[in-house]
Amino acid sequence: MAASPLPPPDPRFVLRGTQSAVHALHFFGGAEGQGQPLLLSGSLSGLVHIWSLQTRRAVATLDGHRGQCVTWLHSLPQGHQLLSQGRDLKLCLWDLAEGRNAVVDSMRLESMGFCRSTVLARGQRHWMLAMPGRGSDEVQILEMPSKTSVCTLKPEADAKPGMPMCLELWQAESSPRPLLLAGYEDGSVALWDVSERKVCSRVACHTEPDP
């Protein structure tokens, strides 16, 4: 007889005050943390709250998505810049250095779907961005912050995996070539070689869309 699963552990503390459902979380090692990481939360109301895990209070609130749900948060290698993605089809770049909380750049997304973007650091000042493309099954790759188009990854015509549902850029230690893992609407996961613009392998993992 299988053992009963253990109950989840009790929380150390609970942060309250977002006033709407939380849809994105991200730990952030900004200067304001004074050696302790901050926690960022993106909410249904379009706000990003910056939480101190020492005082357990929000130290700042960012408002850049016109009341539309924030779906993704990611800090950049510089340590003071933040990317946020919202259902307003906008990707915002925030400057959080020295207490600032300003949007310094933004770009419009081409897809109405729920897929979150992904970033691969290419040094301290440059990064690669993958996001859903204009076509329903496409993924667009950009060099940032110049917004230079690298390529558009589109499955072969007979594959028909549906829309991308989740993305993850990564790079193996043994190779300088960037790779992309993409989970699709049909439950399959594809490994793309970004430089060659081709699928290295594809696995049918799930019977439902990959979240």
Residue pLDDT, tens place only, 171-190: 988 888 899 999 999 889 99
The answer to whether residue 72 is domain-embedded is: yes
The reply to whether 103 and 117 lie within a common domain is: no
CB within 8 Å of 82: residues ≥ 6 apart:
28, 40, 48, 62, 73, 74, 75, 76, 93, 94, 96
- Of the chain, the percentage scoring pLDDT greater than 70 comes to 94
- Residue 35: pLDDT over 70: no
Span 134-165, pLDDT tens digits: 888 999 999 999 999 999 999 987 878 889 99
Name the residue with tokens 């993924």: 139
User: Are both 117 and 205 inside the same structural domain?
Assistant: yes
Domain count of the chain? Answer: 2
Domain boundary among 67, 84, 109: 109
CB 149, CB 170: distance < 8 Å: no
Question: What domain range includes position 126?
Answer: 113-210
Considering 78, 109, 140, which residue would you say is the last residue of a domain?
Answer: 109
Question: Which of 109, 138, 156 represents a domain boundary (last residue)?
Answer: 109
pLDDT of residue 124: 74
Q: Count H helices, E strands: the chain?
A: 0, 16
Q: Is the pLDDT score of 33 beyond 50?
A: no
- 102 with 152, same domain: the answer is no
7 in any annotated domain: no
CATH code where residue 101 lies: 2.40.10
